[in-house]
Amino acid sequence: MKMKQDENLVAFPQFPESYWLASTDVPNFPKLNEDIQVDVAIVGAGITGITTAYLLSKKGLNVAVVDAGRILHGTTGHTTAKITAQHDLIYSEFLSHFGKEKTRLYYEANRDALEFIRQTVEENHIDCQFTEEDAYVYTSADTHVEKISDEYKAYKELGIPGSYVEQTPLPFSTKAAIMMENQAQFNPVPFLRYLANQVIRQGGKIYEQTTVVGVDKGNPAIIKTSDGHKITCNHVVSSSHFPFNDPNSLYFARLHAERSYVLAVKTDKTYPGGMYLSAETPKRSLRSVLINGEPMVIVGGEGHKTGQGICTFQYYEALEKFAEQTFGLKEIVYRWSAQDLYSLDKLPYIGQELADVPNILLATGYRKWGMTTSVAAALLNTNLITRKESPYQDLFSPSRFHADPDIKTFVTQNANVAKHLIAGKLGISHKKAEELQQDEGAVIRLNGKRAGAYRDLQGTLHLVDTTCTHMGCEVDWNEAERTWDCPCHGSRFSYQGEVIEGPAKKALGKVEAE
């Protein structure tokens, strides 16, 4: 693996690792090894699943959370962890697509989520580096000044507290910025460890390494695991990104996956405070963090569709150069990446998964704003399960259909999938297994056929069938993370072929070396 291209730049950590997970002991939970019966079964133990379980168990419901891997080790553990209702330049766009009432509701749902986190941290004295920060979207390009100005007009029309400024506190000149005050940042893992422990204290159960393979609809619903166990329940909440139960609703065609990258760095210059996002691409995201008591900077950005990047290491290098130019770079302490799902109209899907099945609920499609949207989802789905009305249920309903811009995005997205399905099958590699160096992976030609190959640090060759087990697209090698990524719907597999992220549920096939 390439670790460093330019001798003037500092070295990268060899392996990706999130600071949030590295700095927090996350408790282990058992695998489900019996049939159980609960009020609510929650599939997926990230911020959405754990918060939903916390809220429901606090109300006295009997809950079980199951996760195919370890709790909090998906996107939740790999975010930049900004807690804000400022989701890029979105309010002006939403005003024109959805109108004032719905756009204001979107703001309020996310503002309420921030308040929930703030209150929970304060009341329970959770030590999670929660700090209040002003959030900025800035531009250094003349082309984006009007967009910032339109966003400010939208803030005023919607009554969102904020201001328009030309210069931010950042140490480079900007043309314009919009600021939303009193937002926040934290380390999500200790916060959610507290909630997970509360779930157990409140009588709930959490199971890890438990893969759900299907659900029998009905009342009660019956969830089935890959080990043949059953969870009988009154309600199901799917909070595992792609709905685990998707035979008819085709969510895989209504969502697309994007990856983005994060560095935690020691800098020469002092960070001025605040959270920042560039309006223009390539996106640049900034916030501060304390690592071992030392102030450092988190630099994020470089989003691209999963499996459709070029050499993935170059995304880390682009962030490194930005950090060096902006603050002066002393050391890259951590590097990690995250995967986020996008809905067709940029609003998340929260609520009943299918219009005619009231007891199976869904929460997904947060774009990159999962810290607030997940909590909004947990609050809304808790209300739906406890039969309370919520002002947000129509806005986020997964069965909504907004003609603009849904149809166009749906067609474009699925044309993109079709293109990758065909292109992947036609692509021929001439590389051979014996040409691979240690810690190098590639699609190779083996006995006249495509195969995925990775030679590990000990020299052992790992071979997989590159046909994605979801719907048959061809996976590509992700050099920076040492994974096989699918360009069609974002499934990801380890170099040994095991599923890291769905919608695929089955491992890649094995290929035997001759």
Q: CB 501 → ligand FES: shortest distance, Å?
A: 9
- Comparing CB distances to ligand FES, the nearer of 114 and 486 is 486
By CB under 6 A, residue 40 contacts ligand FES: no
Q: CB 252 → ligand FES: shortest distance, Å?
A: 6
Number of separate helices (H) and strands (E) present in the chain = 10, 24
Burial of 76 from C-beta contacts in 10 A (0-12 / 13-18 / 19+) = buried
- Comparing CB distances to ligand FES, the nearer of 348 and 502 is 502
Site string for ligand FES, 141-170 (x = CB under 6 A): ------------------------------
What is the maximal distance between C-alpha atoms in the chain?
68
Q: CB 219 → ligand FES: shortest distance, Å?
A: 31
Q: CB 472 → ligand FES: shortest distance, Å?
A: 6
- Comparing CB distances to ligand FES, the nearer of 134 and 465 is 465
Q: CB 488 → ligand FES: shortest distance, Å?
A: 4
- Comparing CB distances to ligand FES, the nearer of 393 and 414 is 414
3-state DSSP assignment of residue 427: coil
Q: CB 307 → ligand FES: shortest distance, Å?
A: 8
**Count of CB atoms situated within 10 Å of the CB of 435:** 12
Backbone angles phi, psi at 262, to 5 degrees: -140, 140
Residues 481-500 that bind ligand FES (CB under 6 A): 486, 488-491
By CB under 6 A, residue 68 contacts ligand FES: no
The amino acid occupying position 39 is D
Task: Kindly determine how many residues on this chain lie close enough to bind ligand FES according to the rule CB under 6 A.
Answer: 13
User: Could you tell me which residues come within 8 angstroms of residue 254 by beta carbon, excluding any fewer than 6 positions away?
Assistant: 343, 344, 349, 410
Q: What is the DSSP string of 305-335?
A: ETT--SSTHHHHHHHHHHHHHHH-EEEEEEE
Beta strands in 230-387 (DSSP E): 230-238, 255-267, 275-278, 284-291, 294-305, 329-343, 349-354, 357-364
d(C-alpha 141, C-alpha 175), whole Å:
7
Residues 461-480 that bind ligand FES (CB under 6 A): 468, 470-473
Of 161, 38, 148, 71, residue with least CA distance to 108? 161
Q: CB 369 → ligand FES: shortest distance, Å?
A: 23
Question: Which of 223, 443, 499, 504 is the binder for ligand FES (CB under 6 A)?
Answer: 504
d(C-alpha 286, C-alpha 39), whole Å:
41
Q: CB 440 → ligand FES: shortest distance, Å?
A: 23
Residues 239-298 that bind ligand FES (CB under 6 A): 252
Sign of CA dihedral 497, 242, 237, 339: positive
By CB under 6 A, residue 323 contacts ligand FES: no
Q: CB 214 → ligand FES: shortest distance, Å?
A: 17
Give, as one character, the DSSP assignment of residue 46.
S
By CB under 6 A, residue 450 contacts ligand FES: no
- Comparing CB distances to ligand FES, the nearer of 398 and 487 is 487
Burial of 180 from C-beta contacts in 10 A (0-12 / 13-18 / 19+) = buried
- Comparing CB distances to ligand FES, the nearer of 455 and 489 is 489
Contacting residues toward ligand FES, per CB under 6 A: 252, 468, 470-473, 486, 488-491, 503-504
